[in-house]
Amino acid sequence: MIGKKMEEALNEQIREELGSAYLYLAMAAYFHNQNLPGMARWMELQTEEEFGHALRLYRHLVERGGRVKLQALPEPQFEWASPAEAWKAAHAHEQYISGRIHKLMELARQEKDYPAEVMLQWFVSEQVEEEDQTRRVVEMLARIGESGRGLLWLDKELGKRGKEEE
């Protein structure tokens, strides 16, 4: 059985992960509107990944006899000044989520909730990857600047995400 504090915290994190999916879907729509289909594809796949994160937390709660309580999602931002600004927002969002995961890990340790700690370790590692991916795109966009060719090249590269598995 899972403790009430951890149950509440994991329910909040489910909301955060679903909110991440919602934000990335809004970014995908923005990139489609900007005629950047590769970036849109990347964000659509990220949306699916974030939904998977929410499901991982959901299943953990269910398996431990916890009560899942889905919470309302705020409307995500849907407009950015530029593709670079959207990617900066994605990177900042991943840093925010990393902070939340770290707080959950601290709670698991305080509560001596070893199953939660093991499950959350996956998220700690995942967030290193998430931050790295978005940081790299932000840095590439900073190098490219306003270059149309550079932006189109990066869009094409980002559109390859997931195709190596097909």
- Are 115 and 137 a contacting pair, CB within 8 Å? no
What fold does the segment set 4-165 form as a domain? Ferritin (1.20.1260)
pTM above 0.85, yes or no: yes
What are the tens digits of pLDDT across the range 71-110?
Answer: 999 999 999 999 999 999 999 999 999 999 999 999 999 9
Q: Where are the domains of the chain?
A: 4-165
Q: Which pLDDT score, from 0 to 100, does residue 164 have?
A: 59
How confident is the prediction for the chain on average, in pLDDT?
Answer: 96
How much is the average pLDDT of 153-162?
94
Residues ≥6 apart with Cβ < 8 Å to 62: 68
How much is the average pLDDT of 116-139?
98
